[in-house]
């Protein structure tokens, strides 16, 4: 069993990951409505990835003889003004997740919960990758107008994205 404070924090992050999946589905809907199905696919895969992350927290809690607690989700942002708005929102969301993971690491360290520290190592690496991915997409989008030739090439590229487990 884990200290109550850590169990609550892990449950909160479990739910934060579910909320992130929810938000990425809304972002996919923006692109689907615009007919950019490659970008929509990218965000649907991102949503599934966040759900996968949530389930890692679920499984860890169960492994540690704790109960995962599903909380209510809030309505995600559903209206965006541009593809850049979506991607910038994605980066901000990932930065928030990174901050939450770091806070969990700090708490686990204070409580000397070494199994939790080991578990969280994977998420630190994952967050570095996630933030870099969105920074790179922002850089690419700056050189491409929405609907332009390079943007449509990115749309085709994102259509091929699949969930990697």
Task: Tell me the binding residues for Fe cation.
Answer: 17, 50, 53, 94, 127
Q: Among 122, 112, 7, which residue's Cα sits nearest to residue 56?
A: 122
- Output DSSP code: residue 146: T
Binding residue positions: 17, 50, 53, 94, 127
Q: In this structure, what are the phi and psi dihedrals at residue 82, rounded to the nearest 5 degrees?
A: -165, 170
Single out the residue of 97, 82, 150 nearest to residue 128, CA to CA. Answer: 97
Q: In a 3-state reduction of DSSP, which class is residue 66?
A: coil
Pair 41, 151: CB distance under 8 Å: no
């Amino acid at each position: 069993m884990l200290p109550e404070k850590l169990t609550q924090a892990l449950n909160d992050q479990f739910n934060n990951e579910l909320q992130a999946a929810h938000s990425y589905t809304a972002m996919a809907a923006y692109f689907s409505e615009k007919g950019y199905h490659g970008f929509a696919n990218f965000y649907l895969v991102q949503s599934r990835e966040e759900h996968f992350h949530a389930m890692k927290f679920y499984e860890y809690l169960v492994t540690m003889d704790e109960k995962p607690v599903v909380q209510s989700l809030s309505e995600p942002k559903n209206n965006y003004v541009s593809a850049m708005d979506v991607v910038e929102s994605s980066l901000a969301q990932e930065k928030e997740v990174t901050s939450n993971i770091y806070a969990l690491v700090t708490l686990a360290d204070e409580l000397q919960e070494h199994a939790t520290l080991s578990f969280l190592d994977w998420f630190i690496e994952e967050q570095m990758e996630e933030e870099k991915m969105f920074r790179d997409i922002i850089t690419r989008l700056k050189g491409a107008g929405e609907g332009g030739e390079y943007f449509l090439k990115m749309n085709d590229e994102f259509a091929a994205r699949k969930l990697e487990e």
